[in-house]
Amino acid sequence: MSMQLQKMNELEGKRILVTGGTGSLGQTLIKRILSGEMGKPAQVTVFSRDEAKQHYMRLEYLHRDTATDDVIYENWRDVLNFRIGDVRDYPALVAAMRETDVIFHAAALKQVPSCEYFPFEAVLTNIYGAANIVRAVRENELPVQKIIGVSTDKACKPINVMGMTKALQERVLIEANRDCPNVHFNCVRYGNVIASRGSIIPLFVEQIQKGNEITVTMPEMTRFLLSLDRAVDTVFEAIRSEGRGLTFVPKVAAAKITDVAIMLMGNKKVPISYTGIRPGEKVHEIMVSEEECFRTIDGGDYYVILPVLPELRGEGDFTPALTGEYSSKDNNLTGDALRSLLETSGEEIRRFMATA
């Protein structure tokens, strides 16, 4: 089998655990895994603490018509499992990981204001959760081969609790490559997922539909924007890699939030109200800092940040891909390019824009 084919079948026959599997990214990731595009897995386990979300996710799959669905979930009933558990709970994680080859760690507290009001809750989930995964691998003879941690642009030069805890989550997972030589730990870091639960664009759509004013924090506010599928592409790029201690950052577009609001309005003119910056919020997001850019290499559609610890980075020569930070304030999309990005981000938003 060629190396190219091996990489396309990275998940063939693998037993996969997705923490936070009922979240927006988790559900899209599981759908893509079950499609077989990375090989047919032996088992996919959704690990999360919300029994209601698991229940409705299970019902969604039960009601799929595989004759007409865009993805054929062949034998998914024999493959897809649901497991109630919390990444804060070490014994629950160990039990879930005993029959796991690959872990996608997407469980997190990710709402910026919530983390500001309850910072230690964010510490427990985002930092201790990652530490529990590492501890489980280190202290038990588990079959785990690869672990991918899902991070955020807010982890780069963080000013809010969510970003601070995710930055430490990255370090906990990347550093684990020293103590767990038989396991590959890598991370992905990306910006705002356009249609994810709790993100700004579904809020704008709701406000426009109701005829309410659109609430934007500041006219200057910018954000990186990518679809859920592009986020999953980044996760798959990380799982294909034979490297260890790497952080994958997609090369994606950015836009002013005000321009996004205006584009979503279409002909439905709705007033915009500027509410002021929220606790812990940045005006511009950064995905690669000026300190990180000197150990960042070009990976085609991705930037790849090499580990901060020199013993993990190795001594090979490399050419930095950046000379400065990778920030959402630069190269903002407008007009047709922004419309095209929004229309390709999800069926619900595409239908809404068609009627706007």
146 belongs to the catalytic site: no
Q: Give the integer Cα–Cα distance in Å for 172 and 128.
A: 9
CA distances to 22, 43, 82, 208 from 339, in Å: 29, 38, 37, 16
From 154, 157, 166, 256, the catalytic residue:
154
Burial 197-215 (b: 16+ CB within 10 A, else e): eebbbbebbebbeeeeebe
Residue type, 206: E
Q: Which amino acid is at 275?
A: T
Q: What's the token pair of residue 285? A: 């997001």
Contacts of 275 (CB under 8 A, 6+ apart): 215, 216, 217
Residue 30 CA to chain centroid, in angstroms? Answer: 13
Alpha-carbon distance of 4 to 212, in angstroms, equals 51
Q: What is the DSSP string of 150-202?
A: EEEGGGSS--SHHHHHHHHHHHHHHHHHHH-TTSEEEEEEE-EETTSTT-HHH
Q: Is the four-CA dihedral 112, 29, 226, 167 of positive or negative sign?
A: positive
Query: Radius of gyration of the chain from Cα atoms?
Result: 20
d(CA 252, CA 179): 33
The residues carrying an active-site annotation are: 154
